[in-house]
Structure 1
């Protein structure tokens, strides 16, 4: 009979453990066989209704094999139009607001014209996109229903420690809700995907296709991350998965709820490099850590705060900074309009600086305009370059000289045919510096016999000649 009482008491012990406040109990490892046999079932029941499936449908245009060929276009005319077809994708999401606010990955809904959210109980709802951002790979949806939904509380991802137990919940293959368990394997992971805003929680809980946008849950039933990436050659879970930390999700959701059309990152006006072991030794650091300031823009928030090249940023508001991506993450989670206490080391001395966080400024009015006429740039939309425009185009915001940047290129236009691309910076035309969109519009009207064009693309100068 004693064994029976122990077994009957186990579910109650589990329920009490999950109901306890996060700060009221210390982390412990299982001490007995009974504790080893405890179940995650009460926790799953607590959170399952807040984890949803996201169905995104998009229209894809299939171009004709003769599209762009002058002979076939003239011969066949409109008898060979491009075909359109619908494609569907499946992902997961998490309800974080009782009025139907859902967080998922941007890549789950990117380009979708119709998005539906399905709850664990089978109910389906139409939804709209409130805010999305490719760089952080997050999107906020709003369910089209006047009802209250079960929402998951957002936990403090900074309180997560390596070795913590976690659950990953999602819909990996469209077969229904699936739960996997594991531990937190590492924190502050970067360089997971090239060009991304890199700061991830690493876990060995299985994250498979379709789990994207699902929740990484701690043992208190709190959302500590949004599952986003699988790190393997074949695309399957090989024990290495990544999640976007909940503290970044909080900032993103707050931006959406405030009505922002874009997710703005603070403009610092400085560039940073990783601290290698050689740099750490040269600077007298105990180990390779932090973000080395390599350049500071005149008049920028960084300069006003007293940041100088050669300093190493080691902490933000007392939280250690492991690498430049971690610095960007820490400043972004502080939020626009706030201030951050930046700890820097230079010449063996540590100093705290106060950095004001604001949006990238539009130092020069963008004066966006479409170039038309008989010239190589016809069909390109251009704008005057500024930190604000550079931020919107995912370009470095620390450029110190003015210029004209391509924001859009119309398909089939002369600009497209010469290979002009968005984010190209037009430097000069026929030997004359292009200082503004107004000067470019004037220069293209000269109609010379040969066009000499100089552009900057990804930091490289390209010179071309056209007749």
Structure 2
């Protein structure tokens, strides 16, 4: 609740008192500052991979960092960056280069890399951590490990503790997970104030290496040395913007402001339930008018996998009202329901909406209203992309690699379908479902086309003999990891990937809150929430993708004809 209050306080601080410099933090003004910060710092936030220069491939840890000088000084965390090791640096625009590990101080989890190729690299300004204030807004741009291929994801939060003495860190509410380690946290001036270090299970506990650690030992970090004893300190200059730091101090009345903000948007949502099952989801009320086909109806769109069975009802004032199931799309994980009467409220899908998200849209403040509870406030974290099905596809439990021109099984998980049906390490995979396997990547693409309980037919070769193997795939097993990132409250959605036209925001959605709409500050329909993907990320699909689904569903149910 405290995270929610602070976030909304920052968004709705028109009548609130501010410590230090006065600043207009009305929602639109705050959004502009977030987006200005992104424009200034995004290009310098980098993905880093342990790199084998002989085999020319990533070899080990994948993490994040930030370039802080034109000649390529990269700051990261010491638990991932090692002195003398070679790393590949990937910039958000796709450019790649090589860096080497320089100074490292494990006591503070701080490390420096240096890009080896001369050049003028995008970089972010180093800020100060000593001048940070409690509840000061901040922003993270890093590469969470749950996404492959890697992509920068933006998260908004505030400084909860400028210096945790026991941990020697800053504590913020910018969500973090494995892969984010070493990623930068910025103040609203676009300056680096800390680097992602570690977390606990609680979502509010994200610990950052203070930027002043690097200032204090800058000369030592420029040497290729792993320090077991603290090197000589340097004098840290005073932050020239210390007097302009802004921190929100009064959050009273925020809940009322939130209710006022969400009142209209809340009416566009409905609580849904599968009957007699106890499954719940949020529904998005939409209207579709097609004069050509004499159609003017009100529908509800929601997340299909949350609402199994043939009877779906909306819950109004504690009573269930059955709805007509018009169409289910298993691949898109969307469900279309029809209300028995046309309502005055509903998102109008009769006209087209854009299906693009531009760079300037990053950092937009988004609202996810809920029919019963307080809504979620978040920021747009990525551009639009297609999220491959990994957790939602069939599970085989093996890995193949190219070896001397052959696609060879290198891993078979214990008690997996691969193991149970006789696939063994060392087998050469020749084909899958009649398609010749040309590479491990192509094999993966074929697996990604499957669903749990599908049967795949492999032709393999073992000791010179070809064999035919039919393997029934299963659902991917739940993670057994004890890492804090896997144990956050409410957890991940069961169906959380395999979506086209998707984007990420940092709303802390519960899985049962998916299916509901997402709006920007102007009340424009942005999309529908589809999944809580990970500790850091919720997934939504664009408004244009929703409209496309509704058209397909109405066409399939013969409500309209989209054929020419």
Which structure's residues are more often helix, by fraction?
1
Q: TM-score, normalised by structure 2?
A: 0.34
Which structure ranks higher in relative contact order (CA pairs < 8 Å, sequence separation ≥ 6)?
2
Q: TM-score, normalised by structure 1?
A: 0.41
